[in-house]
Amino acid sequence: MLTRHSMAYLIVFIVGAVAGSIQVAWMPGVPAHGRYHASDSDYLQEDLLGVSLRPGPSAPTADHPAWQAICGVYQKISAMFDLSGMTLWNIATPVMLGINLCLFLLLTRNLGFDRAQGLGLTVLLLSTGATVNWSLVLETHVLAPTSLLLAALILSDRRMVPRIWNHPSPWILSVYGLAIALAGSITITNAMLVVFAVLPAGLIRRLRPAPLAKRTIERIPILITAGLVSVGILAFVHLTGWYLIQDPKMAQFLAVANERHYLPYMMGSWWESVLAVAWVAPPLDQYIGYHDDTWFLLRRNFSTMPAFLSGLLVFTLTVCSIRFASSRGMFIPIFVVFGIALHSVYGRSESFLFAANYAWATVISIGILGRAVIPNHLCRGTLAISSVLFVVNLAIWKHGIDWIIENGYLLPDP
């Protein structure tokens, strides 16, 4: 018999799966060129279907440690069940959305939110521009929230945190290394989520630089040891991917550093970085530029201003939440601050591509702030904001689909 606790997770999973299924059913195809997200979705589809072993020089995806393994598993399972083309991907997308929402709800409970507050925050995550737009583009970042949520669940567990920093056993170090590997498995820079766990929360809140630096330095050997464990895990995952795809030239899994060739194409300004945490999606037809000449730029006009302003507001509230975050949850808002800093110098013009990486963290952060400021109204407040966001983002998403069809930005059937 299902308990009230398990029933909540079942309902959340069903809601996510149904929402994802509707997105996939309405999606007429994947944009032939990622004007919206700079996603290289044509290269990605070829990789998943085994048409090419590695994408072209402009696509960063094969540099991510787990991507080849994902492609190999995708091809094997598709062949095993006689699923052609992107059938498996379209099945997996709704399931992944349901799983991510369940993981998010579990994370809220780990951080001390009650069931009603957790459900309200989960609905808020579902209504953000990042979640509503996941199905538009075939991108490895669809999987990023899963890996980041799993890593955050490990680090927010009340039994793990004191054991990591107080004479950790080999088992605890291995679990910490697993968290680092999970966070960095899709995009290496996401491993910073776990790195920020070394920062002692109490000393940050009290603004004591000298003790903060001393305590952080004392924890670095533990971080390095766990980091070496994560390197071994990621290397094994990459080797598995190489075996499944049987690429005669196995690239080093840390070849993600080769993405530096993007730097000359950073046409945007630091202002675009707020799109990485925007809760309102930018309109699809307001992007200009092409992948092979200038890069992608978002016009600054009345229709794009809600996206920019939502990102700035979310970032501001996230920074404010650091003061109220517990030692088990402070690494989450700090990760968001790092994301803005990163995108202010790198990946500026396609920052919204990475919104799925940070959306869950911004919702948690603002939930922490709301629990401290308006604890009795947090649930109702999140539901009210969710209703507005969902209507706005759904309208933007539908407009984007119409724009894709009108302009013929569709991949041919495989």
**307-312 — which CB contacts under 8 Å span 24+ positions?**
307/129, 307/275, 307/278, 307/280, 307/281, 307/282, 307/283, 307/352, 308/271, 308/274, 308/275, 308/278, 309/280, 310/129, 310/278, 310/279, 310/280, 311/274, 311/275, 311/276, 311/277, 311/278, 311/279, 312/274
Query: Model pTM greater than 0.95?
Result: no
Return the minimum-mean-pLDDT range out of 103-117, 160-174, 247-261, 391-405.
247-261
Alpha-carbon distance of 127 to 280, in angstroms, equals 9
Mean pLDDT for 298-310 is 90
Return the minimum-mean-pLDDT range out of 226-240, 241-255, 347-361.
241-255
Mean pLDDT for 43-63 is 60
Alpha-carbon distance of 268 to 296, in angstroms, equals 8
Per-residue pLDDT tens digits for 87-145: 888 888 899 999 999 999 999 999 999 999 999 999 999 999 999 987 666 666 678 89
**What tokens does 142 get?**
């669809």
Return the minimum-mean-pLDDT range out of 29-38, 73-82, 185-194, 322-331.
29-38
Quick one: how far is CA 312 from the chain centroid?
Answer: 18
Element (H, E) at 242: helix 209-245
Q: What angle do CA 43, 62, 181 make, to 5 degrees?
A: 140
Element (H, E) at 233: helix 209-245
Per-residue pLDDT tens digits for 201-225: 777 777 777 888 888 888 889 889 9
333 phi and psi, to 5 degrees?
A: -65, -30
How much is the pLDDT for 295? 56
What is the chain's percent helix, strand, coil content, to nearest 5? 70, 0, 30
Beta strand segments in 201-339, E: 287-288, 297-298
Query: Nearest-CA neighbor of 278 among 308, 319, 302?
Result: 308
Whether the Cβ atoms of residue 223 and residue 177 lie closer than 8 Å to each other: no
Query: Does residue 354 carry a pLDDT above 90?
Result: no
Between the CA of residue 54 and those of 207, 350, 412, what are the distances in Å?
48, 22, 20
The ranges assigned to domains in the chain are: 4-407
- Give 235's pLDDT tier (boundaries 50, 70, 90): confident
How much is the pLDDT for 250? 53
**What tokens does 120 get?**
């309200």
How much is the pLDDT for 52? 63
Give the residue with greater pLDDT, 231 vs 12.
Answer: 12
Alpha-carbon distance of 283 to 271, in angstroms, equals 17
- Give 267's pLDDT tier (boundaries 50, 70, 90): low
- Give 301's pLDDT tier (boundaries 50, 70, 90): confident
How much is the pLDDT for 260? 47
Residue 55 DSSP code: -
Alpha-carbon distance of 146 to 100, in angstroms, equals 6
**What tokens does 6 get?**
């398990």
- Give 200's pLDDT tier (boundaries 50, 70, 90): confident
How much is the pLDDT for 401? 85
| Beta-ladder partners of 298 | 287
How much is the pLDDT for 36? 55
34 phi and psi, to 5 degrees?
A: -75, 60
Query: Does residue 60 carry a pLDDT above 60?
Result: no
